[in-house]
Amino acid sequence: MLFSAILMALGEIRRNTGRSLLTALGIVIGVAAVIATVTLGNSATAKVTSDVAALGNNMLILAPGNMKRGPVASNATPFELADVTAVTREVGGLTGVAPLSSKNELVVFGNKNHSTQLSGTTNAYFAVRGWTVASGRAFTDSEVSSGAPVCLLGATPKTELFGGGNPLDASLRIGKMSCTVIGVMESKGKSTFGQDQDDFVLMPLAAFQRRVSGSKHVDQILMSVSTKRATSSVIAQVQSLMRERRHIASGTEDDFDVRDMKEIANTLGTVTGTLTVLLAGIAAVSLLVGGIGIMNIMLVSVTERTREIGIRLAVGARGVEVLTHFLIEAAVLSLFGGAIGIVFGLGGSYAVTRAFHLPFAFSPSVIAIAFGFSATVGIVFGFLPARRAARLKPTEALRHE
Amino acid sequence: MSPSTTPLVSLRAVERVYGKGDATVYALNGADFEIRDGEFVAVMGASGSGKSTCMNILGGLDVPTGGQYLFRGVDVGSLDADQLALFRRHYLGFVFQGFNLLKRTSARENVELPLVYRKVPRKERRERAREALRIVGLADREEHSPSELSGGQQQRVAIARAIVSDPLLLLADEPTGNLDEAKKRDIIGLLETLNRERGITIVMVTHEPDMAAHADRIIEFRDGRVVRDGAVRAPGSDAV
| B117: chain A residues, CB-CB within 8 Å | 312, 315-317, 321
Name the minimum distance, in Å, from the CA of A9 to any CA of chain B: 13
The SS3 assignment for A384 reads helix
pLDDT tens readout for residues B152-173: 999 999 999 999 999 999 999 9
| In a domain? residue A58 | no
CA A113, CA A338: separation in Å to the nearest integer?
55
CB-CB under 8 Å, A314 with B61: yes
Is A117 a domain residue?
A: yes
Say whether both A279 and A225 belong to one domain.
Answer: no
**To probe the interface with B, which of A4, A315, A398 has the most B CB atoms within 10 Å?**
A315
For testing the chain A interface, which of B94, B125, B143 should be mutated: the one with the most A CBs within 10 Å?
B94
Interior/surface letters A95-113, b for 16+ CB within 10 angstroms, e for the rest? bbbbbbbbeebebebeeee
Stretch A194-219: mean pLDDT: 90
Residue among B110, B117, B118, B145 with most chain A CBs within 10 A, to mutate: B117
Please, which pLDDT band fits residue B240 given cuts at 50, 70 and 90? very low
Going by DSSP bridges, is the β-strand pair B92-95/A79-80 parallel, antiparallel, or unpaired?
unpaired
Closest by CA position to A312, among listed B233, B117, B153: B117
Q: List the single residue in A15, A16, A316 with the smallest CB-CB distance to B89.
A: A316
Instruction: Return the closest-CA partner of residue B113 out of B150, B164, B152, B148.
Output: B164
Q: Is A397 exposed, middle or buried (0-12, 13-18, 19+ CB in 10 A)?
A: buried
Nearest to A99, CA basis, from A74, A113, A118, A80:
A80
Q: How far is B139 from chain A (nearest CA, A)?
A: 22
Output the CA–CA distances (angstroms, integers) from residue B28 to A289, B56, B97, B168, B171, in the order listed. Answer: 49, 11, 21, 24, 18
Q: How far apart are the first and last CA of chain A?
A: 30
pLDDT for residue B96 is more than 90: yes
| Contact across the interface for B100 and A8, Cβ inside 8 Å | no
A8 interfacial to chain B (CB closer than 8 Å): yes
Name the E strands within A29-76. Answer: 59-64
Contact A316/B at CB under 8 A = yes
Are B78 and B23 a contacting pair, CB within 8 Å?
Answer: no
B131 vs A250, which has greater pLDDT?
Answer: B131
Report pLDDT for B234.
55
What is the pLDDT at residue B24? 87
Instruction: Indicate the number of domains in chain A.
Output: 2
Query: What pLDDT is attached to residue A263?
Result: 80
Q: Does A98 share its domain with A219?
A: yes
pLDDT at B1 over 50: no
Structural Rg of chain B based on CA atoms = 18
pLDDT for the residue numbered A193: 67
Cα distance between residue B10 and residue B29, in whole Å? 16
Using a pLDDT cut of 70, give the percent of chain A over it.
Answer: 96
* Contact residues on chain A for B99, CB-CB shorter than 8 A: none
pLDDT for A115 equals 93
Side-chain-facing half-sphere of B139: CA atoms under 13 Å: 5
Separation in Å, CA A142 to CA A133, A146, A150, B29, B183: 18, 6, 11, 121, 112
Q: Domain for residue A173, yes or no?
A: yes
In a domain, A67, yes or no: no
Residue A91's region, left for phi above 0, alpha for psi from -120 to 50, else beta, is: beta
**Rounded mean pLDDT of B97-115?**
93
- Contact residues, chain B to chain A, C-beta under 8 Å: 56, 59, 61-62, 81-82, 85-86, 88-90, 92, 94, 96, 100-105, 109, 113-114, 116-119, 122, 161
Structure confidence by residue, pLDDT tens digits, A158-178: 999 998 889 999 999 998 889
Report residue A57's pLDDT band, with 50, 70 and 90 as the boundaries: low
Q: How far apart are CA A380 and CA B208, in angstroms?
A: 50
* A324 min Cα distance to partner chain B (Å): 12
Of B62, B82, B117, the CB nearest to A315: B117
Cα A273–A276–A279 angle (5° rounding)? 150
Same domain, A202 and A102: yes
If asked whether residues A123 and A84 sit together in one domain, one would say yes
> What's the mean pLDDT when you consider all of chain A?
87
* Cβ-defined contact of A15 to B105 (cutoff 8 Å): yes
Q: Does domain B9-231 have CATH number 3.50.50.60?
A: no
Specify which residues B33 forms β-bridges with: B11
Based on the domain organization, do A92 and A234 belong to the same domain?
yes
- pLDDT tens by residue, A269-308: 788 888 888 888 888 888 888 888 888 888 888 888 899 9
Q: Spell out the SS3 assignment of A189-237.
A: CECCCCCECCCEEEEEHHHHHHHHHCCCEECEEEEEECCCCCHHHHHHH
Same domain, A206 and A90: yes
Domain contains A344: yes
User: Using a CB-CB distance cutoff of 8 angstroms, which residues of chain A are in contact with residue B109?
Assistant: 11
Percent of chain A with pLDDT over 90: 36
φ/ψ of A224, rounded to 5, equals -110, 135
Question: What angle (nearest 5°) sits at the alpha carbon of residue A394, between those of residues A389 and A396?
Answer: 90
**Does this complex have an ipTM over 0.85?**
yes
User: For residue A391, what is the nearest residue in chain B, using CA coordinates?
Assistant: B81
Residue A64 lies in a domain: no
In this predicted structure, what is the pLDDT of residue B61?
93
| Nearest residue, CB atoms, A315 vs list B82, B103, B114 | B114
DSSP string, chain B: ----SS-SEEEEEEEEEES-GGG-EEEEEEEEEEE-TT-EEEEE--TTSSHHHHHHHHTTSS--SEEEEEETTEEGGG--HHHHHHHHHHHEEEE-TT--PPTTS-HHHHHHHHHHHTT--HHHHHHHHHHHHHHTT-GGGTT--GGGS-HHHHHHHHHHHHHTT--SEEEEESTTTTS-HHHHHHHHHHHHHHHHHH--EEEEE-S-HHHHTTSSEEEEEETTEEEEEEE-SSTTS---
Do B161 and A395 make contact, defined as CB atoms within 8 angstroms?
no
- The arithmetic mean of pLDDT across residues B10-22, rounded, is 90
Q: Is residue A352 part of a domain?
A: yes
Range of the domain at A344: 2-52+266-399
Which pLDDT belongs to residue B239?
44
Inter-residue contact B9 to B38 (CB < 8 Å): no
**Given this model, what pLDDT does residue B108 score?**
95
- B102–A318 C-beta distance less than 8 A: no
Closest residue of chain B to A4, computed from CA coordinates: B116
Say if A392 falls within a structural domain: yes
Task: Collect all residues with Cβ–Cβ distance below 8 Å to B234 and sequence separation of at least 6.
Answer: none
A192 Cβ neighbours under 8 A, 6+ residues apart: A44, A47, A48, A51
Per-residue pLDDT, A43: 87
Size of interface A-B (CB pairs under 8 A): 64
Indicate the range of A70-74, A285-289, B125-129 predicted with least confidence: A70-74
Q: Are residues A238 and A281 in the same domain?
A: no
pLDDT of residue A373 exceeding 90, the answer is no
Top-confidence residue, A3 or B189: B189
Residues of B in contact with A395 (CB under 8 A): 56, 61-62
- At A144-157, the pLDDT tens digits run 999 999 999 999 99
